[in-house]
């Protein structure tokens, strides 16, 4: 359960990072295009793929800490120095 919770948290944070990053990227492209009087051209695949990539990176980044935490006894985690 501990490993699953760690993985869910890291994946969710990665997913949210991908969503926010993609949204900011789209807004930046549209704003620059509006200021320069250009037609904004966006690749929908990249905008939709960013959250997936973020979730995957979050999952991979949380894999080792989640497995390490799952093997640790809760009492030992509380006793360990910060």
At residue 58, the pLDDT reads: 96
Q: Domain locations in the chain?
A: 9-69
pLDDT tens digits for 13-55? 999 999 999 999 999 999 999 999 999 999 999 999 999 999 9
Q: Is the Cβ–Cβ distance between 58 and 14 less than 8 Å?
A: yes
Specify the pLDDT at position 35: 97
Looking at per-residue pLDDT, the higher value among 34 and 74 belongs to 34
Distance CA 68, CA 76 (A): 12
Q: Render the burial of 26-46: b for 16+ CB within 10 Å, e for the rest.
A: beeeeeeeeeeeeeeeeeeee
The whole-angstrom distance between residue 26's C-alpha and the CA centroid of its chain comes to: 17
Residues in the chain: 82
User: Mean pLDDT over residues 55-70, rounded?
Assistant: 92
Is residue 63 over pLDDT 70?
Answer: yes
């Amino acid at each position: 359960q501990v490993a699953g919770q760690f993985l869910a948290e890291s994946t969710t944070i990665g997913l949210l990072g991908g969503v926010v990053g993609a949204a900011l990227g789209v807004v930046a492209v549209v704003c620059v295009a509006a200021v320069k009087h250009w037609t904004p051209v966006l690749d929908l695949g990249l905008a939709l793929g960013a959250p997936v990539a973020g979730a995957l990176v979050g999952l991979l980044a949380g894999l080792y800490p989640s497995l390490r935490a799952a093997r640790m006894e809760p009492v030992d985690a509380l006793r360990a120095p910060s």
